Structure 1
Amino acid sequence: MNRSVIRAANRPCTLVVCRGCCCGNPRKYPGTDHAWQLDRLRAGAAEHGFQVRTTDCLGPCDQANVIVVQPSAAGRRAGGRAVWVGFAMDDDCTGDLLDWAAAGGPGLAAPPPTLELQFVRPPREARARARG
């Protein structure tokens, strides 16, 4: 088996953190320490073995800050799908995201009930790509 196949088969849970025009924007959300949140997520990833990536824009800007929790390879095999979390700005939400990702994320662990209240639908383009 080649290395890319092995890496894909062992891919961990990944948090994709939007840091585009609205998400992570201190002018739009001055009460949120966006840099601290990203540092906290990265520290949790290093400690618990999941990944954190950033992207410019995930789309649902009216629900910023948006973070997508992508399942690990094992989570996907167990039926887990990417989960979109909106309004992810406070310490409690960040802690819930860390706990869920550390426990395995979608397909392997149930999300914290308070985090479920922040689940949002992905933008139409993402849903269309997922079906395609």
Structure 2
Amino acid sequence: MSCRIRKAAPAPAGAARCTVTVCRGRCCGPPKIPGLDHSQQLARLRERLAGQAQVRVSGCLDACEHANIIVIQPSAEGRKAGGRPVWLGLVNDEDATADITAWIEAGGPGLADPPGVLDLYAFSPSRRIRRPLEG
């Protein structure tokens, strides 16, 4: 055991903001959902949430029956207020994408209630699936 006092590591960039993880694995994307412009969906999320949330792309999140999947992780403030990651599936239209951005602009999980229609997209993945994102 060390007696040395350690300084807290600086928070990673974007840690104080919500994080939006967009699945683009084997089933989320053009092969399975051909009617949606996947590149445009990602570009709109990044454009609308610039400076408000970190938007990142993930490989397969292993809940393919819910393609396309977007996971909203709360900001540090949202987590302190009780917010937890929210998994949204079947996000295959522009209206759902707009509702997601509006929710995050209002504060996201823990700080603002999601637009009512997003309840229809929410699902609970198994612990095995959600563990890597929440850790």
- TM-score, L = length of structure 2: 0.85
Residue 37, structure 1, aligned to residue 41, structure 2: yes
Q: Is the 8 A contact 1:64 1:88 kept in 2?
A: yes
Higher helix share: 1
Q: Within 5 Å, give how 1:24-103 maps onto structure 2.
A: 24=29, 26-46=30-50, 48-103=51-106
Q: Give the aligned partner of residue 125 of structure 2.
A: 122
Cα offset for 1:86? Answer: 0.3
Q: Give the aligned CA root-mean-square deviation in angstroms.
A: 2.4
Structure ID, larger Rg: 2
Q: Give the aligned partner of residue 3 of structure 2.
A: none
Q: Is the 8 A contact 1:10 1:74 kept in 2?
A: no
- TM-score, L = length of structure 1: 0.87
Any stretches of 5+ residues in structure 2 without a counterpart?
1-6
> Per the alignment, in what secondary structure is the counterpart of residue 4 of structure 1?
coil
Q: 1:62 to 1:11 in 2, by over 3 A?
A: same
Alpha-carbon distance in 2 for matches of 1:14, 1:64 = 19
Q: 1:9 to 1:38 in 2, by over 3 A?
A: closer
Residue 20, structure 1, aligned to residue 48, structure 2: no
Residue 4, structure 1, aligned to residue 7, structure 2: no
> Per the alignment, in what secondary structure is the counterpart of residue 125 of structure 1?
helix
Alpha-carbon distance in 2 for matches of 1:128, 1:28 = 25
The residue type equivalent to 1:20 in the other structure is G
Any stretches of 5+ residues in structure 1 without a counterpart?
none
Cα offset for 1:126? Answer: 3.5
Alpha-carbon distance in 1 for matches of 2:133, 2:25 = 22
Matched residue count: 129
